[in-house]
Chain A
Amino acid sequence: MIDKTCRWERLDRYFTDGQTVMIGGFGVPGTPFLLIDALLNSGAGGLTLVKNEANEDHMGISKLIEAGRARKLITSHLGLNATVIGMMNRGEIEVAFYPQGILAEKIRAGGAGLIGILTDIGIDTILKTEKQIIEVHGHPAIVEPALRGDVSLIHAAVADTMGNLIYEKSARNFNPLMATAASRVIAEAERVVPAGELDPDHIHTPAAFVDHVVPISRLTEEYGVLAHHVV
């Protein structure tokens, strides 16, 4: 039986300077905080990070950015992270913004072995500057190249030892897309069960996309409810 479970201590070898790293999550749900800590502790720098947002100040990938480990951030929105916005404005990190669903499609295309996508989103805005525009069916379309990573860091609610993954509620977001779009896919899981225990009809990410499954023994405080978002 294939067993992709991996000890936390072994992760170091998979991180090197200059990698492009995709990180799942939309806010706290689905952010692999412990894998981000492992990347931080590996000492790897000059990274290009791909994530929907940069988490909030001093959390998740914001810790990598604040520690100067990221050269570039490919993202959608930083509205809840004044620290990273400040660093961007001071030129301490290069930031590339994409419309959220276009970022998702660039990653999906990367994972699906496509070269890119065609879209009219932003066609009448400053977004189209420096983009390749082609005409399709008589209408202008922006060419958006596909996006792939060297490594993807994924958070799953449940994994089996073969690497099948199930996400929970709004923690799914970018995780299943990024889990298809990197040379090495590392998933942390809150619960790891023996292969064969999960209903094949309920799998969100099939095992073939996943290289390593790292069991979480205890969720840290970062995974919890954020007091300042409680109404």
Chain B
Amino acid sequence: MSYKEKIARRAAAEIAPGQVVNLGIGIPTIIPRFIAPDFPVIVQSENGILGMGLPTARGLEDRNLIDAGGSYVSTLPGASFFDSALSFALIRGGRLDIAFLGALEVSETGDLANWIIPGKYAPGIGGGMELAQKARRVVVTTTHTTRDGRPKILRACTLPLTAKACVHTIITELAVMAVTPSGLVLRELAEKIDVEEVLEKTGAPLTVPTGTPPVF
């Protein structure tokens, strides 16, 4: 299993039965692989779908049915289609239980930066700001460090924010961390990872509860 699949598998366990969830681009798109077929969840897509299923089997693509990232998808019984204003009414209006989002940086107070690196990467805003600011819970799925090994989890974000104090849980290939009023708290460790490695690769204070942390 790749590190992305490990993160996605752990992220899938965040979903409670009956919840409405949105899966951002990147790692979140592979979360459905780790949701049992009979598990009751409603997946929303910004382009106007509730009740999205797995990616369409090859050869069965419908030219009128894609997710927000452009992939051909299926729908489940009970699905519905609607326009973009209604889609974001659902998001901003408080009917979205969890938004799974990627990150460039996350701060110890739950600030999220994931949409722009000034001068280098500026493809636009998309639905990310509304998802980050208005979902009832924001779960960040990300690698613990950047490609060149720098921490993505910091005391304060250096990049322009997507939303302030919005992240509740951070899931990386190394650990699961909660954003609490008293800062970041280690909740779980990935298999074969020790606490020292997580502390070393985290750019913000991380509280480690006493006792052996659960392993995922």
Contact = CB atoms under 8 A, between A and B. Distances in A.
A174 B130 contact: no
Contacts of A27: 47, 66, 70
A170 B83 contact: no
Contacts of A30: 64
Contacts of B163: 124-125
Interface string A91-107: 00001011111111101
Interface string A192-231: 0000000000000000000000000000000111100111
Contact of B161 (A75, A85, A125, A230): A125
A100 B127 contact: yes
Given A101-B91, A168-B64, A77 B83 contact: no
A80 B70 contact: yes
Contacts of B100: none
Given A27-B70, A177-B83, A230-B58, A85 B123 contact: yes
A187 to B, nearest CB: 15
Nearest to A28: B63
Contacts of A177: 83-85
A5 interface: no
Given A101-B91, A104-B84, A231-B71, A125 B129 contact: yes
A170 B124 contact: no
A201 B51 CA distance: 23
Interface residues of B, number: 45
Given A99-B130, A169-B81, A230-B72, A105 B88 contact: yes
B125 interface: yes
Contacts of A231: 55-56, 58, 71-72
B92 interface: yes
B82 interface: yes
B48 interface: yes
Chain A interface size range: 35 or more
Interface in A56-103: 56, 75-80, 85, 95, 97-103
A52 B47 CA distance: 10
A107 B64 CA distance: 23
Interface string B48-71: 110000011010011111101011
B66 A229 contact: yes
B133 interface: yes
A121 interface: yes
A102 B124 CA distance: 13
Interface in B19-36: 25
A171 interface: yes
Interface string B120-141: 0011111111100110000000
A5 to B, nearest CB: 23
B160 interface: yes
A120 B88 CA distance: 14
Given A78-B123, A169-B65, A176-B83, 4 more contacts: A79-B25, A80-B70, A104-B83, A125-B162
14 contacts: A30-B64, A76-B126, A77-B126, A80-B70, A100-B88, A101-B92, A102-B88, A104-B84, A120-B133, A125-B161, A169-B65, A173-B47, A177-B85, A231-B71
Interface of B: 25, 45-49, 55-56, 58, 61-66, 68, 70-72, 81-85, 87-89, 91-92, 122-130, 133-134, 160-164
Interface of A: 26-30, 52-53, 56, 75-80, 85, 95, 97-105, 107-108, 120-122, 124-127, 157, 168-177, 223-226, 229-231
